Amino acid sequence: MKYLYTFLFLGLISIAFINCSNEKSEIKSDTPKEIPFAIVIHGGAGTIKKEFISPEKEKEITNKLQEAIDAGYAVLNSGGASLDAVQAAINVMENSPLFNAGKGAVFNSDGKNEMDASIMDGKTLNAGAVAGVQNIKNPVNVARLVMDSIHHVLLSGKGAETFAKKYNVQFEEDAYFYNERRWNSLMKVKEKNGETIPVKNARDLSTNYVDDHKYGTVGAVAIDKSGNIAAATSTGGMTNKKFNRIGDSPIIGAGTYANNATCGISSTGTGEYFIRTLAAHETSTLIQYKDYSLKNALHEVIFNQIEPLGGDGGMIGLDKNGVVAWDFNTEGMYRGYKRSTGENVVKLYHE
């Protein structure tokens, strides 16, 4: 009997010690001496399956994602700021017709390209965003100008365009944004709904297109050599969108969030659900207040908060230690990352 008590007592004491040492090792792993710099990007989540994409198209998309990663990584590698890195990566994707942002933006109900973008600085928690802008080549650059130049965070519509003109931002004609496949996507939706067809006001200047994956938003998150995190997102929104709908991409805390204390996040998906759950900010608070890893926090938000409401999509991110993670509940997500530790990954499908 005496031995039984001794055994039980020592057992309980041991459990207490194990708990304590676990807590300590977790704290240690949060503050490594050297933070690797890194960039992670996405080119949208959706019904992306290997059987829908030809080997040539797969190669083309993979190469463009790598080009975007490399553009951002070069900034970080030369000691540049994470804010400049995410902008560089997103500009590559905005300038390609392969993604639903900038040149490749889908058409709204009036047959126009109506774009949203945002950027956030994890060091200062400063942010800038534009919603519903037309004919701007790189909406994320205007979001950056909003952040850097005025005390507002979010500008919209014609007012945002007036602001952009004041800062000599590059505008493009409608023809630059025209893309036959995107136009056909709009026609298909219009016909299905029995809606009036808008007048086609631009010629087909593009021979390069992809299927309308519905959620082809682009985003990037980076951490630089100084440990500063930045995140940014850019999108053309939804095909046939009406009523100047604004999605989650220009909404700080929904589509984009960065905080040096926790992580940086960029979202893509059915934007309304990311707005209602504050997906990007919620991920950050789970890390900050519940000691979740970034990976677990992303999984929790996507599968236990967004999915139960009926939403789908994905998020990419990296934490203050430069650890990269992503998650999505769609068939696939265009995504990739590169870290100063040597890893370089580009993926399209669920795997």
Residues contributing to the site for a copy of itself (CB under 8 A) = 1-2, 5-6, 8-9, 12, 125-127, 131-132, 150-160, 162-163, 242-247, 251-254, 271-272, 275-278, 281-282, 285-286, 289-290, 309
Q: Given the complex with a copy of itself, which of 225 and 245 has the nearer CB atom?
A: 245
Least spacing, CB of residue 131 vs a copy of itself, in Å: 6
Least spacing, CB of residue 140 vs a copy of itself, in Å: 17
Least spacing, CB of residue 39 vs a copy of itself, in Å: 23
- Taking CA atoms, 76 is separated from 71, 99, 153, 349, in Å, by 9, 24, 25, 27
Dihedral through CA 236, CA 196, CA 187, CA 137, nearest 10? -30
Catalytic hit among 47, 217, 239, 256: 217
d(CA 316, CA 163): 30
d(CA 299, CA 263): 15
Least spacing, CB of residue 56 vs a copy of itself, in Å: 36
- Asked if 237 and 245 touch (Cβ cutoff 8 Å), the reply is yes
Structure token digits, residue 125: 């928690």
End-to-end CA distance of the chain: 55
Least spacing, CB of residue 129 vs a copy of itself, in Å: 9
Q: Given the complex with a copy of itself, which of 78 and 124 has the nearer CB atom?
A: 124
Q: Let me know if 31 is a catalytic residue.
A: no
Q: Given the complex with a copy of itself, which of 129 and 346 has the nearer CB atom?
A: 129
Least spacing, CB of residue 344 vs a copy of itself, in Å: 33
d(CA 258, CA 252): 9
Going by C-alpha positions, the residue among 102, 109, 106 that lies closest to residue 243 is 109
Pairing type for strands 218-223 and 229-235 reads antiparallel
Q: Given the complex with a copy of itself, which of 36 and 247 has the nearer CB atom?
A: 247
- Asked if 50 and 100 touch (Cβ cutoff 8 Å), the reply is no
Q: Given the complex with a copy of itself, which of 88 and 278 has the nearer CB atom?
A: 278
Q: Given the complex with a copy of itself, which of 125 and 197 has the nearer CB atom?
A: 125
Q: How many CB atoms lie within 10 A of CB 175?
A: 12
Nearby residues of 260 by Cβ (< 8 Å), 6 or more positions away:
122, 123, 227, 228, 229, 320
Least spacing, CB of residue 252 vs a copy of itself, in Å: 5
d(CA 257, CA 287): 13
Q: Given the complex with a copy of itself, which of 97 and 317 has the nearer CB atom?
A: 317
SS (HEC) of 136-200: ECCHHHHHHHHHHHCCCCEEEHHHHHHHHHHCCCCECCHHHHCCHHHHHHHHHHHHHHCCCCCCC
* Encoded amino acid at 248, one letter: D
Provide the annotated active-site residues.
Answer: 217
